[in-house]
């Protein structure tokens, strides 16, 4: 079991500043609070310039047809989206599960969830850092689906505890990524859903390299391994913000093909759900989390033109 980090003075300062902002926003109408979040996000782009180079270079690499001005415009919108989504997530507990349901204006494919749950074999959800992934999980839980969410531990232990408390208050059971291998089989046997956010390759996490916007990217393979081993229905879920400010939730199957070559089959599943994510990103690129260096880890021998563009 990983040791729990002790908060530093810097962690405490960050955390109490965050709680102060959230407390202030609780007193505002929802639309005003979310608009504030958007403005706060754009400050991160300019004047602060937090990871601005990473965002611009990755967007330019993913969409080489865009001009420099178009890349900058899309980058600003990505910062605004992140700011708004962060505020939405912080305020979700205040509106409860019915409020979460009301934030969704349309749903596609939820019958796939109902069919999978009725089979009592559990279900694997896969998503990426697109739209509002926290809302997507909260929405599924609000629909009555018992669900574990696999999460990484945040650097700030106070913030980590806060966000996980938020998830729990919305009906999700938090499972640390280092606990997933032990906990997931039991959850599936109990007929529960297990959700993975599978688009950030990190040290120590079982991963494979698949193509993402034309470049090799290290991608977690846990969901694919469990899908094959336990013959579990695997569904990709997105929650994309619409012009109304509310969300469209979409659910679709991730194809599971068995050829007898386990490693190749796992890689094919990872490539499949990564391809689905890329397709959705292309419909709303400003709603993706470009702030993470998606191509930071690549296989040896990657050609120079396909290496990490944020360097």
Max mean pLDDT range (21-25, 163-167, 237-241): 237-241
Q: How many CB atoms lie within 10 A of CB 154?
A: 15
pLDDT band at 155 (very low <50, low <70, confident <90, very high): confident
Strands 123-127 and 234-241: parallel
In whole angstroms, give the CA distance from residue 274 to residue 200: 11
pLDDT of amino acid 18 = 83
pLDDT digits (tens, 9 = 90+) for 252-276: 999 999 999 999 999 999 999 999 9
pTM for this predicted structure: 0.94
> Which phi and psi (to 5°) does residue 55 adopt?
-60, -50
């Amino acid at each position: 079991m990983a040791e729990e980090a002790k908060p530093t003075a810097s962690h405490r300062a960050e955390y109490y500043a965050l709680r102060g902002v959230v407390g202030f926003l609780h007193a505002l109408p929802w639309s005003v609070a979310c608009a504030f979040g958007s403005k706060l996000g754009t400050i991160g782009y300019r004047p602060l310039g937090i990871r601005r180079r990473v965002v611009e270079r990755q967007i330019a690499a993913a969409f080489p047809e865009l001009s420099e001005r178009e890349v900058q415009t899309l980058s600003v919108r990505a910062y605004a989206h992140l700011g708004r989504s962060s505020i939405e997530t912080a305020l979700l507990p205040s509106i409860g599960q019915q409020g979460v349901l009301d934030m969704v204006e349309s749903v596609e494919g939820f019958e796939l969830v109902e069919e999978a749950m009725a089979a009592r074999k559990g279900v694997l959800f896969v998503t990426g850092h697109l739209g509002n992934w926290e809302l997507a999980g909260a929405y599924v839980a609000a629909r009555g689906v018992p669900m574990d969410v696999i999460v990484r531990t945040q650097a700030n232990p106070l913030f980590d505890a806060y966000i996980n408390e938020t998830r729990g208050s919305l009906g999700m059971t938090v499972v640390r990524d280092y606990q997933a291998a032990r906990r997931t089989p039991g959850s599936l046997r109990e007929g529960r859903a297990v959700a993975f956010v599978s688009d950030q390759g990190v040290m120590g996490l079982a991963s494979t390299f698949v193509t993402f916007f034309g470049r090799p990217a290290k991608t977690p393979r846990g969901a694919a391994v469990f899908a094959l081993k336990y013959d579990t229905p695997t569904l990709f879920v997105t929650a994309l913000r619409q012009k109304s400010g509310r969300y469209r939730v979409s659910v679709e199957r991730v194809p599971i093909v068995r050829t007898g070559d386990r490693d190749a089959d796992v890689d094919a599943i990872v490539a499949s759900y990564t391809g689905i994510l890329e397709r959705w990103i292309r419909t709303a690129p400003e709603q993706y989390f470009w702030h993470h260096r998606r191509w930071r880890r690549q296989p040896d021998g990657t050609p120079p033109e396909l290496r990490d563009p944020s360097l």
